[in-house]
Amino acid sequence: MEGKIETLWNEVRELNLGTSGELDRLDFPPTPLQFLRDFVSQNKPCIISNATHHWPALTRWTSDSYLTSALSSSHVSLHLTPHGRADALVPSPSSSSLCFASAHVQRTPFPEALRLITAAKNDASSFVAYAQQQNNCFPSEYSPLAADCDPHIQFATEALGCRPEAVNMWIGDERSTTSFHKDHYENLYAVVTGQKHFLLLPPTDVHRMYVREYPAAQYSYSPVTGEFELEMESPARSVPWSSVDPYPAPEDSSSSLSKFPLFFNGPKPFCCTINPGEMLYLPSMWFHHVRQSPDSRGRTIAVNYWYDMQFDIKYAYFNFLQSIQCPPIESQTLAETVQEDLDSDAPEKTEDE
Amino acid sequence: MEGKIETLWNEVRELNLGTSGELDRLDFPPTPLQFLRDFVSQNKPCIISNATHHWPALTRWTSDSYLTSALSSSHVSLHLTPHGRADALVPSPSSSSLCFASAHVQRTPFPEALRLITAAKNDASSFVAYAQQQNNCFPSEYSPLAADCDPHIQFATEALGCRPEAVNMWIGDERSTTSFHKDHYENLYAVVTGQKHFLLLPPTDVHRMYVREYPAAQYSYSPVTGEFELEMESPARSVPWSSVDPYPAPEDSSSSLSKFPLFFNGPKPFCCTINPGEMLYLPSMWFHHVRQSPDSRGRTIAVNYWYDMQFDIKYAYFNFLQSIQCPPIESQTLAETVQEDLDSDAPEKTEDE
Q: Is A17 helix (H, G, I), strand (E, B) or coil?
A: helix
Ordered by start, the domain boundaries in chain B are 2-345
**A171 near B CB under 8 A:** no
Q: Residue A123 pLDDT > 60, yes or no?
A: yes
Q: In 3D, which of B43, B18, B26, B87 has the Cα closest to residue B286?
A: B43
pLDDT of residue A1: 83
**B4 near A CB under 8 A:** yes
Angle, helix B2-12 to helix A313-323, in steps of 10 degrees: 160
pLDDT of residue B121: 63
Higher-pLDDT residue of B35, A331: B35
Mean pLDDT value of segment B61-80:
97
Residues 216-245, chain A, touching B (beta carbon < 8 A): none
**A267 near B CB under 8 A:** no
pLDDT of residue B327: 67
Phi, psi of B296 (to 5 degrees): -65, -20
**B324 near A CB under 8 A:** yes
pLDDT of residue B2: 87
**Quick check: A317 and B204 CB within 8 A?**
yes
Bond before A261 cis per omega within 30 degrees: no
Residues of B in contact with A33 (CB under 8 A): 32-33, 36, 158-159, 161
Residues of A in contact with B36 (CB under 8 A): 33, 36-37, 41
**Quick check: A36 and B34 CB within 8 A?**
no
Dihedral, CA of residue A200, residue A203, residue A206 and residue A211, to nearest 10: 80
Higher-pLDDT residue of B226, A315: A315
Distances (CA, A) of A111 to A96, A107, B81: 40, 12, 82
pLDDT more than 70, % of chain A: 91
Distances (CA, A) of A289 to A87, A253, A338, B311: 12, 18, 21, 27
Out of A41, A202, A314, whose CB is closest to B40?
A41
Residues of A in contact with B162 (CB under 8 A): none
Residues of A in contact with B42 (CB under 8 A): 310, 312-313
Tell how far CA B156 is from the center of its chain. Answer: 20
Residues of B in contact with A310 (CB under 8 A): 16, 41-42
Contact (CB, 8 A) for B283 and B43: yes
Q: Residue B199 pLDDT > 50, yes or no?
A: yes
Q: Report DSSP letters for A250-272, one per residue.
A: GGGHHHHHHH-HHHHHSSPPEEE
Q: Residue A2 pLDDT > 60, yes or no?
A: yes
pLDDT more than 90, % of chain A: 84
C-alpha A180/C-alpha A198 separation (Å) is 10
pLDDT of residue B330: 41
Tell how far CA A258 is from the center of its chain. Answer: 25
Q: How confident is the model at residue B120 (pLDDT cuts 50, 70, 90)?
A: low
Q: Which fold has domain B2-345?
A: Jelly Rolls (2.60.120)
**Quick check: A159 and B8 CB within 8 A?**
no
Bond before A327 cis per omega within 30 degrees: yes
Q: In 3D, which of A25, A32, A66, A33 has the Cα closest to residue A49?
A: A25
Q: Report DSSP letters for B154-206, one per residue.
A: HHHHHHHTS--SEEEEEEE-TT-EEEEE--SEEEEEEEEESEEEEEEE-GGGG
Among A144-153, A287-296, A334-343, B126-135, the least confident range: A334-343
pLDDT digit string, tens, across residues A233-285: 999 999 999 999 999 999 999 999 999 999 999 999 999 999 999 999 999 99
Residues of B in contact with A5 (CB under 8 A): 320
Q: Residue A338 pLDDT > 90, yes or no?
A: no
Residue A44: CA count within 13 A, CB half-sphere: 28
Environment class of B71 (CB within 10 Å of its CB; exposed 0-12, middle 13-18, buried 19+): buried
C-alpha B313/C-alpha A314 separation (Å) is 8
Residues 55-114, chain A, touching B (beta carbon < 8 A): none
Q: How confident is the model at residue B124 (pLDDT cuts 50, 70, 90)?
A: low
Q: Residue A329 pLDDT > 50, yes or no?
A: no
Report the residue count for chain B. 353
Q: CB within 8 A of A275, min separation 6: which ones?
A: A191, A195
**A163 near B CB under 8 A:** no
Please give the residue of chain B at the shortest CA–CA distance from A4. B320
pLDDT of residue A126: 79
pLDDT digit string, tens, across residues B83-109: 898 789 999 998 889 999 999 999 999
- How far apart are the CA of A6 and the nearest CA of chain B, in angstroms? 10
Q: In 3D, which of B177, B244, B257 has the Cα closest to residue B214?
A: B244
ipTM: 0.91
- How far apart are the CA of B338 and the nearest CA of chain A, in angstroms? 23
Among A289-298, B87-96, B298-307, the least confident range: B87-96
C-alpha A327/C-alpha B258 separation (Å) is 34
Q: Is A312 helix (H, G, I), strand (E, B) or coil?
A: coil
pLDDT digit string, tens, across residues B256-286: 999 999 999 999 999 999 999 999 999 999 9
Q: In 3D, which of B282, B54, B67, B123 has the Cα closest to residue B188?
A: B282
Q: In 3D, which of B81, B325, B94, B84 has the Cα closest to residue B212?
A: B325
Tell how far CA B148 is from the center of its chain. Answer: 23
Residues of B in contact with A1 (CB under 8 A): 324
Tell me how far apart the terminal alpha carbons of chain B are, to the nearest angstrom: 32
C-alpha B153/C-alpha B266 separation (Å) is 35
Q: Residue B231 pLDDT > 50, yes or no?
A: yes
C-alpha B201/C-alpha B209 separation (Å) is 9
pLDDT digit string, tens, across residues B333-344: 443 433 333 333
Question: DSSP H helical segments within chain A, as ranges?
Answer: 2-12, 32-35, 57-60, 64-70, 110-119, 137-141, 154-160, 253-259, 261-265, 313-323
**Quick check: A15 and B42 CB within 8 A?**
no
Distances (CA, A) of A302 to A10, A121, A131: 32, 20, 11
Q: CB within 8 A of B330, min separation 6: which ones?
A: none
Q: In 3D, which of A160, A188, A167 has the Cα closest to residue A37?
A: A160
Mean pLDDT value of segment A225-231:
93
Higher-pLDDT residue of A165, A325: A165
- How far apart are the CA of B210 and the nearest CA of chain A, in angstroms? 19
Higher-pLDDT residue of B142, B342: B142
Q: Is B226 helix (H, G, I), strand (E, B) or coil?
A: coil
3-state secondary structure string across A313-350: HHHHHHHHHHHCCCCCHHHCCCCCCCECCCCCCCCCCC
Q: How confident is the model at residue B185 (pLDDT cuts 50, 70, 90)?
A: very high
pLDDT of residue A349: 39
Q: For chain B, how are helix, strand and coil distributed in percent, rounded to 5?
A: 30, 30, 40
Residues of A in contact with B16 (CB under 8 A): 310-313, 315-316
Q: Residue A177 pLDDT > 70, yes or no?
A: yes
Q: How confident is the model at residue A352 (pLDDT cuts 50, 70, 90)?
A: low
pLDDT of residue A333: 41
C-alpha A89/C-alpha A260 separation (Å) is 15
Please give the residue of chain A at the shortest CA–CA distance from B162. A37
Q: In 3D, which of A24, A32, A25 has the Cα closest to residue A50?
A: A25
pLDDT of residue A337: 35
Please give the residue of chain B at the shortest CA–CA distance from A160. B37
B-interface mutation test, from A1, A35, A41, most B Cβ less than 10 A away: A41
**A316 near B CB under 8 A:** yes
Contact (CB, 8 A) for A339 and A212: yes
